[in-house]
Amino acid sequence: ILNVEQSPQSLHVQEGDSTNFTCSFPSSNFYALHWYRWETAKSPEALFVMTLNGDEKKKGRISATLNTKEGYSYLYIKGSQPEDSATYLCASDMRFGAGTRLTVKP
């Protein structure tokens, strides 16, 4: 994998559903994996930074895991709320993925 890739591109869920999305990144010369939350008409805000294989981070209903050997990270949202609607970006060093656009319907 030469670039940072995210899937799915977009996701629509109902309020209360749990969801997850994937970030794949080059596993060679790895320093850190970042997740950002980007609301429409605002700027990206940092959620997590992970550096070690097996790292898990949690903030409220949102958590993330990291596998540096195989080059992927998962972001989980438990019990999605409408205010979780945003684009979730992952970045490996300075390379950003295209993001997953999450829409949570009330």
Where do contacts with other proteins occur on this chain (CB under 8 A)?
31-32, 34, 42-46, 49, 89, 91, 93-99
State the Cα–Cα distance between residues 100 and 106, nearest whole angstrom.
Answer: 19
What letter represents residue 69's amino acid? K
User: How far is the C-alpha of 84 from the C-alpha of 77, rounded, in Å?
Assistant: 8
Q: How far is the CB of 101 from other proteins (least distance, A)?
A: 11
* Helical residues (DSSP H) of 1-106, grouped into ranges: none
Residue 65 or 87: the one with the smaller Cβ distance to other proteins is 87
Q: Tell me whether residue 15 or residue 45 sits nearer to other proteins (CB atom).
A: 45
The smaller minimum CB distance to other proteins, of residues 13 and 32, is found at 32
